[in-house]
Amino acid sequence: MSTQLASNPNQMMAAQWAAVQDATGRIAPTWPLDQMIAVNPYWMQRDLPLRDVSARLSALGGVQCLLPAAEYARLRADKRIDLSAVSEAASLLQWDGTLAELEAVLVDSTDTAAQTAWLSIAARADQERSPFRMLWQDEVVHQISQFCAAHYQTQRPLLGRGRISDQLELYAHWLDVTQRDLGIGILLAEPEINRTLRALPDSPAALIQTAIEEMGIRDETLADYCHALLLDINGWASYTAYLSWQAQLYQETQNDSLDLLAIRMAWELTIWRHLRDQYPAKFQHLKAAWQHAQRHLPALLAEHKAQQAALWVWATALELTEQRRLQLTLTKAVPAPETAPTLQAVFCIDVRSEVYRRALEAQDAHIHTLGFAGFFGLPIAYEPASTPLSRPQLPGLLRPVISVVATTKDTTGSAGDRKERLQTSARWQDWSRGAPSSFSMVEAAGWWYAFKMLKNALFPGQTPHPVNQLMQTEQWTLQRGEVSLSIAEQADLAQGILHAMGMTTFAPHVLLVGHGSHSTNNLHAASLDCGACGGQSGEINVRVLAQLLNNTEVRAVLTERGLNIPAETQFIAALHNTTTDGIQCFDDVPATVRTWLDDASRLARRERAARLDPKLAQRSDEDLEKALHKRANDWSQVRPEWGLANNSAFIMAPRAWTRNADLQGRVFLHDYHAAQDPEGQLLTQLMTAPMVVTNWINMQYNASVTDNLKYGSGNKVLHNAVGGNIGVFEGNGGDLRIGLSMQSIHDGTQWQHMAQRLAVYIAAPRERIAEIAQREAVVRDLVDNDQLYLFHWDLDRGFARWYQGTWHVPLVG
């Protein structure tokens, strides 16, 4: 994409160039719909204290990182916040007021912060604009958003892994389209605006430099001003941040974030010039207000931080209360005695597996379950034969280094026919995704599609994923580039995975359980699949790993290395349907194991039923299973399941420590045995990878609750797909919506996710945890800048929190 700004920073002073780069670097990426994973929207600002980030976002964009005062008041009245926790929180945050003053904040819930947020040139110009004309701010967001949708739909950058150098430059394309669009002047009732647009500089660097000079943007204000502009179009800014993220993974250069900033600033400059030339009196008011706002910005940031101080005490008190309750649960749970495993089942650490694992373990004391990252340590991309598709099956933090190709070929037609069937199926499903598109499909396809719609409404059935349909094979080839992995390389991969799992003994049957969701007519379906698998089902990963670990040649090499897997041990790939709590095994299992799984499914369904719909709790087991399958296939169902809503903690410890604890489906569980990791290498991996991923999940859910307008996607009933898989509009325009819909976090009456920062508990030597937390910059930022809580857990000594370079013993109970 455009490289002018990146290659010619000398057009601006070094301080100005640094400020522009700083602003574009504050926006977190968002993944497209078909790979939708949870992302911490504050991730790119993790080097700053969260309270400072919160104040900045509030001041610059009216963004809320905290619940409203009225919500904390309700939680206080419902006894969800302990009074002693309020005192502890006030001490931790060095609150210098009284408890009465804290209580008073909950009574006076006026949102003064939103009323004093920073205003762009467009928003300031709207203050004196006629109510009979379209607002500048509305047109700016709408025009940029519609253009971006058309631009990215046309070229689909990076998603097809096309060469960046062959793709259109975002700013140049926007300038060409906008300067030709006479409708802008008509829509705004400002016919001279087109002449002003035609006078804009040709390059993003020249545009930004011109805007800085003409609008008198102060150096000390520039970074925050640019950040505020990007928050205006945060959805598209997040998408361009994703393009940059992907480019970095592949060692490429991508500058669309800078181009997008230049586009937004071009509108500022256009409005500035237009008012100067057409409305001199209004322009003088605007200029004076603008200069004052720049001088006042530091005071505005401080004001917002002061306004939020009391609410941070309440937010922290809520978290401390929840932590005490969890710690009390863990303290009371008696560690399970050691037993020889008859069956082992390895599940993703996803919080939904905690309910099922308890249900499965309840069937027999000799059933052992383990928690492991859902992609099962396979750094792979899935490449269906005879198609150009390459689908990552690993966390978005990582780049796939191994490709997985089906060995068994589809014999139902030529390779060309198979590719065409996949493309046709995918196009047809894309067309039918948006709500209004159903009507256009009926008009274009005729009466038979209307009949199909009626059939789906009355007799819902499963709509298969066109890519997942290609998985029907029993053999996979692992390749690095065009070269297949040798047996030794496969053994290296298997050995590393087994070590990370902590498996030293093996049952006769070992289930490798991936997970995937099942819903119909759901643009955000990928958000309910496995985030560790790149927003996909984990089926590919468990199938490939089972093949790898069952390979006799690989086992022979492992035996030579001292890792002996008994000959009778069979690894079986399985998939947990998180919507229906059914377990599908991709190989035969003994009747006893099948009975255990079916009984565990019934228990898990029963536990979840009331939360989905209170009426479901009254049904028989058979009727409940049917009802859940019906919900999964119902194209009008907006809440097929709750996903990871209400997640609150991450525990790295032996499963025996938590087996007798009911963690209510709110905790990520990763098996970790410190004795097997004397150098702490595995713990380092866990604290810099799964812990980061769980932070992303937790913060996405939190932000979607505290500010669904900016970091959530609103009402999913109104969603329309943009560019097939880029993202969604709520309705037919506005900014690109990101994050979770209201239906994913609210049941229509109350929140289903409690916004609280993740608490991480690790069973490892204190000094090892502290050393990693200090050495690894990512961990240090997350812990010391308050994006999560980090605890040491010892069965004898209890709990201690690591924070700001020292250990603190919290209150329990």
Looking at per-residue pLDDT, the higher value among 812 and 203 belongs to 203
Q: Is the pLDDT of residue 188 over 60?
A: yes
Q: How far apart are CA 431 and CA 440, in angstroms?
A: 9
- For the ranges 349-363, 388-402, 561-575, which has the lowest average pLDDT? 388-402
Instruction: Provide the pLDDT confidence category of residue 472 given band limits of 50, 70 and 90.
Output: low
Buried b (16+ CB within 10 A) or exposed e, 687-705: bbbbbbbbbbbbbbbbbbb
Q: How far apart are CA 68 and CA 707, in angstroms?
A: 10
Residues 6+ apart with CB under 8 A from 742: 708, 712, 714, 715, 716
- For the ranges 235-239, 474-478, 686-690, 763-767, which has the lowest average pLDDT? 474-478
Alpha helices in 437-561 (DSSP H): 437-445, 447-458, 487-501, 539-550, 552-560
Q: Is the pLDDT of residue 250 over 60?
A: yes
Q: For the chain, give the mean pLDDT.
A: 89
Structure tokens at 731: 């309705």
Q: How far apart are CA 187 and CA 198, in angstroms?
A: 17
pLDDT for res 443: 46
Instruction: Provide the pLDDT confidence category of residue 457 given band limits of 50, 70 and 90.
Output: low
Instruction: Provide the pLDDT confidence category of residue 108 given band limits of 50, 70 and 90.
Output: confident
Distance of CA 268 to the CA centre of its chain: 31
pLDDT for res 397: 84
Looking at per-residue pLDDT, the higher value among 431 and 269 belongs to 269
Q: What is the mean pLDDT of residues 677-699?
A: 97
Q: What is the mean pLDDT of residues 747-761?
A: 96
Q: How far apart are CA 441 and CA 444, in angstroms?
A: 5
515 is in an annotated binding site: yes
65 is in an annotated binding site: no
Instruction: Provide the pLDDT confidence category of residue 7 given band limits of 50, 70 and 90.
Output: very low
SS (H, E, C) 15-39: HHHHHHHHHHCCCCCCCCHHHCCCC
DSSP code of 338? Answer: P
Q: What is the mean pLDDT of residues 750-769?
A: 97
- For the ranges 175-179, 462-466, 592-596, which has the lowest average pLDDT? 462-466
pLDDT for res 448: 52
For the chain, how big is the Rg over CA atoms in Å? Answer: 28
pTM of the model: 0.92
Please name the helix (run of DSSP H) or strand (run of DSSP E) that holds residue 477, with its range, or none: strand 476-480
Instruction: Provide the pLDDT confidence category of residue 458 given band limits of 50, 70 and 90.
Output: low
pLDDT for res 389: 76
Q: Is the pLDDT of residue 383 over 90?
A: no
pLDDT for res 422: 45
Looking at per-residue pLDDT, the higher value among 719 and 470 belongs to 719
pLDDT for res 469: 52
Q: In this structure, are residues 470 and 410 in contact, taking their beta carbons and an 8 Å threshold? A: yes
What is the tens place of the pLDDT at every residue in 360-375? 999 999 999 999 998 9
533 is in an annotated binding site: no
Q: What is the mean pLDDT of residues 472-481?
A: 81
Q: What is the mean pLDDT of residues 563-585?
A: 97
226 is in an annotated binding site: no
Percent of the chain clearing pLDDT 70 (strictly above)? 87
Q: How far apart are CA 792 and CA 661, in angstroms?
A: 18
Instruction: Provide the pLDDT confidence category of residue 462 given band limits of 50, 70 and 90.
Output: low
What is the tens place of the pLDDT at every residue in 275-327? 999 999 999 999 999 999 999 999 999 999 999 999 999 999 999 999 999 99
pLDDT for res 437: 44
Q: What is the mean pLDDT of residues 696-723?
A: 96
What is the tens place of the pLDDT at every residue in 55-104? 999 999 999 999 999 999 999 999 999 999 999 999 999 999 999 999 99
Query: Residue holding tokens 């994973």?
Result: 37
- Listing DSSP states for 304-330 in one string gives HHHHHHHHHHHHHHHHHHHHHHHHHHH
Q: Is the pLDDT of residue 447 over 60?
A: no
